[in-house]
Amino acid sequence: MDFSNAKELLELCDNNKMSISEVMKHRECDESTSSKEEITEKMRKVLQIMRDSATMPINTPMKSMGGLIGGEAKKLSDYREAKKNISSSVLSRGMMYAMAVLECNASMGLIVAAPTAGSSGVVPGLLLAMQDVYAFSDEKITDALFVAGAIGYLAMRNATVAGAVGGCQAEMGVASAMAAAGAVELMGGTPRQSLDAASTVLMNMLGLVCDPVGGLVEYPCQNRNASGVANALVATDMALAGITQLIPFDEMLDTMYRVGKRMPVELRETALGGCAVTKSACEACGMCG
């Protein structure tokens, strides 16, 4: 049960009366010759790694290898505990978890690339926050991860998830699209609504450059993971409210890819443009040697 694009995925869902997560499970079984129980158990392990990487830095703040980040997730946690946050409970938790995962990654901890290390905080950030607030079971969250996986698969098959190829719109954009699609199914939305949400995210993040300070996946990457959660939440609510997208996911993905390829090389993970060449950034990383 394979699909090469979002249109085929929707047809499989409609024809078989299945959710995106169920279709993706069937695809994984067919591709790996593993049983449904085996692939589900693997996804549970993925969820546990995500949970560990999202909580460890909150309990034990870590300084990144490059020294540019460390302790931000704990600050957000303390801010929330003091009830000073003005964002919603889901968003404030999602920001905290997303930034924690990037701190874990930059400190050489174990994370799940979703779809990349630099964008690894968005999917766990949003889904774990929703689990906290709505008390979803781990089974429901793993289903949402299969939905996220379907979106990531389509992006890798038909475009790119690499900042070096398509800019941060490819990394953060796809991560946020994955999170939004999973969140929609988690909240009872339809497959079409999940794909509408994914399309909305790519549209909102179109053109985002990849400009890591010092060439390190630390800053501004960590901040953008938090903003990616917010973008995913916006798209999720819009889709669940019944707002459809004029441009379907397949076309939006193709657009993102074409825009990425037209970006100057300085804005595609080379640290030669954008935030990376500001005076303060260069001073922070020792004037790049």
The reported pLDDT for the residue numbered 224 is 98
What is the assigned CATH class of domain 6-278? mainly alpha
Describe the crossing of helices 168-186 and 191-204 by its angle, rounded to 10 degrees. 150
The reported pLDDT for the residue numbered 146 is 98
The reported pLDDT for the residue numbered 285 is 81
Alpha-carbon Rg for the chain in angstroms: 18
The reported pLDDT for the residue numbered 289 is 46
- In this prediction, the residues of the chain whose per-residue pLDDT falls under 70 are 287-289
The reported pLDDT for the residue numbered 101 is 98
pLDDT tens string 4-25? 999 999 999 999 999 999 999 9
Return the domain boundaries, the chain.
6-278
